[in-house]
Amino acid sequence: MRNTFCVLLIVLAFSSSPRQAVAGQSGPSGTSPAKKSTIEDFGDRVNGYVRIRKDAEDFLSALSSSKDPAEIASHKIELAELIVSERANAHQGDIFTPKAAAKFREIIHKTLKGPRTQDARRTVDDKDPEKIVILRVNMVYPEDNPLQTAPPTLLARLPELPMDMGYRFIGRTFVLLDNKTRLIIDFIPDAIP
């Protein structure tokens, strides 16, 4: 039910956003079948990940709150390990498929480059010094590395994500991040124009 809801939200968010005009292929309803299927496919893949995480949480019994930081930390590690074992064969591009990645690049480009985009660009560029990390799918992004702020203008143009998932920039890379575990689910390299 929740997954269906998420897919519905993703489709609605994408079909009503300004990027429809970017591709220049809008049909009478403003949504071309090709675009819709790319986003539906993206939504399905995200929901596939959410199902795996939900199963892992059910197995561990979800932790809503705790006074004990050790319990929070160990729950996070166990959850990440379970998810990674279920996704052992996951690769970059599994969720951001080439078609989806092209679409995302287009939206990022429109948001960060061109007239009146300097404020969004400044949001991405505002970062504390961080260690350089070679990103890979299924790695836990180190907690001692701060995350760049996600530009609100960009978030408003991207497909809505289920709870505890986020789009983030890490350096010039665009990342789909699991907020609960800080696992890198997928990424688009060199996404900042």
Other Cβ atoms closer than 10 A to 16: 10
Distance CA 106, CA 125 (A): 19
Q: Which of 59, 133, 37, 45 is nearest to 87 (CA)?
A: 45
- Minimal distance, residue 98 CB to another protein, in Å: 26
- Minimal distance, residue 123 CB to another protein, in Å: 5
CB-based contact 25:69 (threshold 8 Å)? no
Q: Which of 50, 140, 41, 141 is nearest to 95 (CA)?
A: 41
Q: Does the protein bind another protein through residue 186 (CB under 8 A)?
A: no
Distance CA 176, CA 154 (A): 14
Q: Does the protein bind another protein through residue 150 (CB under 8 A)?
A: yes
Name the residue nearer to another protein (CB basis): 60 or 72: 72
Calculate helix-pair angle for 33-60, 2-15, nearest 10 degrees.
Answer: 150
Distance CA 111, CA 17 (A): 12
Q: Does the protein bind another protein through residue 15 (CB under 8 A)?
A: no
Name the residue nearer to another protein (CB basis): 92 or 149: 149
Give the x-and-dash track for 19-58 against another protein (CB under 8 A).
Answer: ----------------------------------------
User: Total residues contacting another protein (rule CB under 8 A)?
Assistant: 38
Name the residue nearer to another protein (CB basis): 97 or 145: 145
- Residues at the interface with another protein (CB under 8 A): 13, 63-70, 72-73, 76, 119-120, 122-123, 126-128, 143-144, 146-153, 155-156, 160, 164, 166, 168, 179-180, 182
